[in-house]
Every structure is written in C-alpha cells, then in structure tokens.
Homo-oligomer: A and B are copies of this chain.
C-alpha cells in the first residue's frame, strides 16, 4: 500500500519494519510452542526479548513519533484508510510510549518467570507457589493502567489493550444480562433427559485413530476455505492460530484417541481465526490495517465456525456420512440426531476450555469479576482460590477439589494477560449478532447442510475479513448489523438451539 501523503508514506515505511519484526517474533513463538527442545527455553526467551527491544525502539523512535503527531494534525485531509492508519498507530504506540521502557522490560521478565512459576504450581497443584509471581504481575499491570490512563476504572486501560473502546461500564450490564438469563436456563435445562445414549460414542473403548482425525479436520477446514498452501496445521498442547506472515497463517490442534469432538471443534475454531487473517485485503499487508481488529471480533470468527456452524444440525447432517466413512468401526450406526446431542452436550463443569456453549460465558463472568477485583484492589491475590471456588459454586453449581482444576487452570494471567478473558464472551456475542444478520441474507442451514461453506466464507470476507483493522470493533458491529453490540442475539440463539 502506498500513500500520496508524504507523512503517511513515511509512517508506512517505518511501520513495515515493525511488521517485519513482529512476523519474525511470531516465527519464534510458533516454534517455541510446537518444536522447542527442553533445554532451549532460556535462549528462546532471550531471542524474543531482543526482538521486543528492537520493536520498542522502533515505536519510540523520536522521528516516528514526530511524524505521527504531524499526521494527527492533518487528519481531516486524509482518506478514510489513512485516518485509520494514524488512529491504529497512535493506539499501538501508547503501549510503548506511555509505559516506561524499564517497566516494559521488567514486565516481560516477570511474565517469563510467571509462566514457569505457574507451570510449577500446576505440577504441585498449589496456588501458593504461583502467588508471588501473580502478585508481581498484578502489581505491574496496575502500574500499566496508571501509565496508560483511563476514565473510570483502571481495568478499562487493560481491557483496551485487547478490545478498543471497551469499558467496564459497558461490560458490567452485558455480563449481568447474560448471567441473569443463563443461570435459570441452565437449571431448567439440566432436568431434561436425552432420548439417545450419545455419550457411548466417546467412551474410552472407542478409538478414533489420530492420523485419520487429522485428515478429517483438514478435509473440513479446506471446505471452510482455509488455504493450506498459505498455512499449516501442527500439534501443540495449547492450540492456537498465528500469522507468521500474510501468506503463512498457521494453526495447531490436539487429539484425543477416544473422543473426536475436540479435534474437530478446535480445528474449526482455529481455522476460523485463520480465515479472518487470510481474508484481509491483500493491499493492507504489512500496514497497520492488516490483521483482525480486536480479540473480540477475532473470537467471533472462531466461535462462529466452531459453534454456529460446526455444532449445527445442518452441518452435522452433512458430516454424518463423512464421519461414518472416516471411522466405520466407531460410528457406522450413528445418526445426525445423536451427533447433534454429542457435540452439544451441556453440563456444568470445572474446566473452561471443555465447557459447552451454554456454560462457557459463566466461566468468563467469574474471571472478569476476579480480574476487576485484583486490578481495582478490592480482591487480594492470596484470596483468589477462595473467591474462585465460591464463584464456581454460585455461577455453575460445581466446586473444584484442587487448585489445578480451579484457579490454576488457565495460563493467561501467568504471562500477564489480564483483561483478555472478556473478549471470549464478546466473541460469542458478536458471533450471534453477526449470524443473525447473515441469515437474513444467506440460507445458512441449506448451505451448511450441503457442505457449501465457501458461500458462507464469501459473506464473512465481504462483511468482516477484508476490512482488517480499518474499523474498530464498535464501528464494525454497527456497520455490519446496524446497531451496537447487543447480547439479546446470543440469548435468542441459545434459547432457539437448546
């Protein structure tokens, strides 16, 4: 992308170096998660930290900051795309210019150590081992909030790192509305009895050979439109999607030999993220407009494919003969109805990543409350396990027996990601709202039922993907659906489906 405006062009040229450094860092991160030999952990940390330092220098460059200010002054004279470029650069710069460099470096160090501390704590099943690390991370996060600035709640500053323009004032009523709906809904739902013995398909006696699961998932994600010539699917303990370049958007998956649901759900979820990245307008590559705009919008894309499509009766009816052909021993007699129940089994449980669509947001609601509390100082880090267990009991009616299946289950806080969790729920809500719009224009049921996912992808590309970071999440939601984020669509979706 070239700009006729000289200042913008200078900014774009400078940013291209930042983008290149970012892509190099992601090669290192991908390798860390997929391949790294045990003894190389410290070195890899140093390699990444070195790139972080170079990146910070680029953001903090006085020349660059001067040009950015200059561009901000002539904003009215710029095209829509150029305005978005300036806005995005200013937003990203904040992190590097408002927070002192020493604090950034300390944060990076504390988070590396925090991850190891968390891993050790999990092994020993003891939150006390992780507590000193988390305390330090929370302390630095609170300093971050002060440096970044906020209007009402310090947590807003952290939220904003992941979801532009999002605030506690907006989120509180959203979570209240969802909890208010889900809690009674869940109570009624659990009294319901199934007509089929669908859980027999995921008994320990069943065997879904991993090589075949992998081929099946590749079949599905290629149907979705994932371009494998510009990506790969590997294995990792914690699945993820990472763009190592504009034409190198990789996903990972994991496999359980006795349960095929996880690899399909993860595959479709991660491919949903990847399709967003693969679908951004190619002219935006290496500019501040490339890449999905926020974690919430990103999650709307992954959840859409994982849940709205992947767990729908229509798509499962398309998938039934395919699954029978892939796994004749285990599934030759299965029906679409059984598969629907299998993939949509609802049951309050302890682990977020294994939760169904109905209970999932309650897991997030708990984390959101605790995060707000430790950041605004109303909750002490040492009290987290107690608060966690109380919250699980009140929201989901289940209680962890140990720290590992409770407060220690998620990795996020250990690497400093506080303010991140709510974007999972935002993704679910955006996803339902976008789908509501989409079904006015497309016969989603018919398309999914025929396995014609390409037509669905075209809609997503036209309405969402191609824009990359041109619109911020609230603008994008307005543009697509004609109204701001509204949880009623998610509530309707759950009511209709279950």
- A residues with a Cβ closer than 8 A to B are 17, 20-21, 23-24, 27-28, 30-31, 35-40, 42-44, 46-47, 50-51, 54, 227-232, 244-248, 250
Contact B37 A248 (CB under 8 A): yes
Q: Are A50 and B245 in contact (CB under 8 A)?
A: no
In the complex, which of the residues B17, B35, B248 contacts A232, with contact meaning CB atoms closer than 8 Å?
B35
Chain B residues with Cβ below 8 Å from A44 are: 245, 248
Say whether A50 contacts B37, CB under 8 Å.
Answer: no
> Known: A27-B28, A31-B31. Is A230-B39 also a contact (CB below 8 A)?
yes
Are B37 and A23 within 8 A (Cβ)?
no
User: Which residues of the other chain, B, contact A248 by a CB distance below 8 angstroms?
Assistant: 36-37, 39-40, 43-44
By beta carbon, the residue of chain B nearest A246 is B43
Question: How far is it, in angstroms, between the C-alpha of A229 and the C-alpha of B231 when the chains are bound?
Answer: 28
Kindly list 5 other residue pairs between chains A and B, CB separation below 8 angstroms, not including A24-B50, A37-B229: A23-B43, A24-B47, A27-B27, A39-B227, A43-B246
Cα-based distance from A46 to B286 in the complex (angstroms)? 12
Cβ–Cβ < 8 Å partners of A31 in chain B = 27, 30-31, 244
Q: Bound state CA distance, A276 and B6, in angstroms?
A: 53
- A247 in complex: contacting residue of B24, B37, B50, B229, CB < 8 Å: B37
Residues on the B chain within 8 Å of A232, using CB? 35, 37
CB neighbours of A54 from chain B (8 A): 54
User: Are B229's CB and A50's CB within 8 A?
Assistant: no
Least CB distance from A243 to B in Å reads 10
CB neighbours (8 Å) of A246 from chain B are 43
Q: How many copies does the complex hold?
A: 2
CB distance from A230 to the nearest CB of B (A): 4
Query: In chain B, what residue has the closest Cβ to A41?
Result: B247
A494→B19 CA distance, assembly (Å) = 55
In the docked arrangement, what's the CA distance between A47 and B40, Å? 22
Partner of A23, one of B47, B228, B231, B244: B47
Query: Across the interface, which residues of B come within 8 angstroms of A39, CB to CB?
Result: 227, 229-230, 247-248
Question: In the assembled complex, which residues on chain B have CB atoms less than 8 Å from the CB atom of A38?
Answer: 229-230
A32 to B32, CA, bound (A): 16
- Considering the chains assembled together, what is the distance between the CA atoms of A248 and B30 in angstroms? 15
Report the separation of the CA atoms of residues A24 and B248 in the bound assembly, to the nearest whole angstrom.
18
CB of A198 to closest CB in B, whole Å: 34
Give the CA-CA distance A490 to B224 in the complex, in Å: 60
Q: Residue A50 contacts which of B17, B46, B50, B228 (CB distance < 8 angstroms)?
A: B17
- Tell me whether A20 and B47 are in contact (CB under 8 A): yes
Residue of B nearest to A44 (CB): B245
CB proximity of A98 to chain B, nearest CB, Å: 27
Closest residue of chain B to A228, judged by CB? B37
A249 to chain B, nearest CB (A): 9
In the complex the two chains form, is B47's CB within 8 Å of A245's CB?
yes
B24 touches A51 (CB 8 A): yes
**If the complex has contacts A31-B27, A37-B229, A228-B37, are A247 and B20 also in contact, measured as CB distance less than 8 A?**
no
Distance between Cα atoms of A24 and B48 in the complex (Å): 9
Q: Top 4 nearest A-B pairs by Cβ distance?
A: A40-B248, A43-B245, A39-B247, A39-B230
Which B residues touch A247, using CB under 8 A?
Answer: 37, 39-40, 42-43
Give me 5 A-to-B residue pairs in the complex whose CB atoms sit less than 8 angstroms apart, sorted by A's number. Answer: A21-B50, A39-B247, A40-B247, A43-B245, A54-B54
B24 and A28 contact, CB distance less than 8 A: yes
CA distance A21 to B47 in the complex (A): 8
Query: In the bound complex, what is the Cα–Cα distance between A50 and B286 (angstroms)?
Result: 14
A46 CB contacts on chain B under 8 angstroms = 20
Q: Return the chain B residue nearest A50 by Cβ.
A: B20
Chain B, residue nearest A42 (CB): B247
